[in-house]
Amino acid sequence: MTVAQPMALLKQARNRFTQREIAEHVGKTPKTVRRWEKGEIPCPVMLEPALRHLLQKPSVAPAEGNRFRFIDLFAGVGGIRMGFEAHGGECVFTSEWNDFSKKTYIENYGDNHQFVGDIVPFPAEDVPDHDMLLAGFPCQPFSIAGVSKKNSLGRPHGFECTTQGTLFFDVARIISTKRPKAFLLENVKNLISHDQGNTFRVILQTLRDELGYDVHYRIIDGQHFTPQHRERIIIVGLREETGFSWDDLKLPAEGPRLSSILHRTDGSEPVLPWDGDRFFDHNHQAVQAKYTLTPNLWAYLQAYAEKHRAAGNGFGFGLVYPDSVTRTLSARYYKDGSEILVYQGGKKRPRRLTPRECARLMGLPDTFRIPVSDTQAYRQFGNSVVMPVMREVARIMAPHIAAMIEQEDTGIAQPPLLFA
């Protein structure tokens, strides 16, 4: 291996990425990258794997004119935000109540705008003006009691009757007050069937009838983009009818397999300075031993699975292989990892995914930093979104938002222009 190789890779990377993007990926400053380019200091040979890994990633430039402001509610670690930033969005306000998630979020996105914890007591009038509202809101029980009475009384803000006390109400009151051009809400697939469909009926009634938005929803499986079966409902609303259609989505027919996100033991695993050897032992080219199940836990999981098999139930652990698509990663993964256990050979006990592999399973780049404990990281990724799904939805939404902004600025209606 020669110094010329990483320099050649650096030049290739600079054709697609900025100095800052490269610096963030390899854990250096933009000034250092600039000095490498000028030949003032040699580009370290050890960075070759990291540069090769960067070159494998797509570079997404926002379509010209797709510039819009959004707020990020129930933000988690920012997976929805990252998808919309890729297509021209600028985050101007964030809300996330969990302190550990807030730590991860700020570590990755900075704190250059207003960040509040609990959105419930926050006045809607104090939320900055924005073009788009993003919210991965938690689903809580809804009551439709009083819907018919509300209709008979003709109340203008009836959602207060049916959703008060749920976190969806806080989304609705901000939409009602700020009237953004569009919103995106994300939730579990079962939201549609919750309470025999009453919950979802109230949500649609609120968004369409009470707030007056053109609403579209679709269930999208994350396995189109990452090796994880993860179905989530995406609810899109636009203040005006713009011709938005789910038909514009480009979902790969065949998604990647688990091998694409596992740590590589052939010497090609990228060296991530912010991870060090926390998850992967680069000296021995092996996943850290702490992720392999203990003999007692492995024995327990096998006995538990056998017990339910004998009873005719389907409960048990999920053993996965390099060509697998996993079950849905859950927030309880830190407990025993049972839904996704990586096969390590017939005589070896299986292992959990590492937090870095979990981040990859959610479609997050290796530049994403994990500043919290493994337990908190597992919880955060188990509650997160498949980021490339959000990026693809953002791709088809951004032109419609841009067209509404253009019409607002000029008074002339512009047709949305979709970009590949």
Catalytic residues: 139
d(CA 49, CA 265): 13
Q: Single out the residue of 404, 41, 32, 45 nearest to residue 239, CA to CA.
A: 404
State the amino acid at position 84 in one-letter form. Answer: F
Strand segments, DSSP code E, in 274-415 are 280-281, 286-287, 319-320, 341-342
Q: Of how many residues is the chain composed?
A: 420
Q: Both tokens of residue 259?
A: 């091998």
d(CA 159, CA 147): 9
Strand pairing partners for 218?
A: 234
Question: 28 exposed, middle or buried (CB, 10 Å; 0-12, 13-18, 19+)?
Answer: middle
Phi, psi (5° rounding) for residue 256?
-70, 165
DSSP states along 265-305? TTTTS---TTTTTSSEETTTTEE-GGGBPPHHHHHHHHHHH
